Amino acid sequence: EAQVTQNPRYLITVTGKKLTVTCSQNMNHEYMSWYRQDPGLGLRQIYYSMNVEVTDKGDVPEGYKVSRKEKRNFPLILESPSPNQTSLYFCASSSLAGELTNEQFFGPGTRLTVL
Amino acid sequence: EDQVTQSPEALRLQEGESSSLNCSYTVSGLRGLFWYRQDPGKGPEFLFTLYSAGEEKEKERLKATLTKKESFLHITAPKPEDSATYLCAVLPSGGYQKVTFGTGTKLQVIP
């Protein structure tokens, strides 16, 4: 089954404790992206990646890191989480047709609470 | 800066009562406009991509249209299962692949 998986689905942590949210897709997609979703602010893009070893900032990259060492995986790293990073996080992937980005397939989401 | 504004924020319809959702956008150049559906507690699910003004796409009771400044999602004779939040997103032209989403329209269809 074609899917994007994220782990963990729920996480409660404390300020300053480094964490990683994993994302994996089995569709051989080139493009992967991370979003956060907050009430009233909608989905905001954190980072995206066009292919292995190619990443770029979205609208809200501060406080986050990503890496793309393998095509299927795109982990999101919070080196020193703060309470304002409490949010619902989504990973997404899509194929690339020429330079166009096709529909994105979204993961089930990770609800993060930073105390 | 790219901007996407969706209206209304919330919409309540009787079953069978047709209506439209609006997505206004400001981008330097549009490569594509996307519509997604999101159910509570789940990730967004793709509905349509529109690429140029005048383009229309349909899927069951949904029809999406695009002009140079806005897109409409028309819902014909909606059913309760159409209740969801509908999101609009734009991909600007140029070398970047940065997607900007609107805040969505929460649709409730009452039996």
Per-residue pLDDT tens over the stretch A55-82: 999 999 999 999 999 999 999 999 999 9
DSSP-derived 3-state class of residue A63: coil
Cβ contact (<8 Å) for B42 and A101?
no
Q: Is the pLDDT of residue A38 over 90?
A: yes
- Minimum Cα–Cα distance from A111: chain B residue: B41
Out of A103, A107, A109, closest to residue B49 by CB = A103
Q: Residue B1's pLDDT is what? A: 81
Cα–Cα distance for residue pair B60/A99, rounded to 1 Å: 29
Specify the DSSP class assigned to residue B81: G
Cα–Cα distance for residue pair A54/A44, rounded to 1 Å: 20
CA distance A95 to chain B (A): 12
- Minimum Cα–Cα distance from B96: chain A residue: A56
Q: Residue A40's pLDDT is what? A: 87
Which residues of chain A make contact with B45, given a CB cutoff of 8 A? 106
User: Mean pLDDT throughout B1-24?
Assistant: 96
Q: Residue A98's pLDDT is what? A: 59
Tokens 């060492």 correspond to: A69
Q: What percent of chain B is modeled with pLDDT above 70?
A: 98
Q: Tell me the pLDDT tens digit for each residue of B33-60.
A: 999 999 998 999 999 999 999 999 999 9
CA distance A4 to chain B (A): 10
Q: Is the pLDDT of residue B72 over 70?
A: yes
The C-alpha angle with vertex A93 and arms to A87 and A95, in degrees rounded to 5, equals 160
Which residues of chain A make contact with B101, given a CB cutoff of 8 A? 35, 42-45
- Cα atoms in the 13 Å half-sphere on the side-chain side of A59: 16
Q: Residue B95's pLDDT is what? A: 61
Q: Tell me the pLDDT tens digit for each residue of B82-108.
A: 999 999 999 888 766 788 999 999 999
Q: Residue B96's pLDDT is what? A: 64
- Minimum Cα–Cα distance from B89: chain A residue: A43
R_g of chain B, CA atoms, integer Å: 14
Cβ contact (<8 Å) for A106 and B44?
yes
- Could you tell me the two tokens for A12? 């409660």
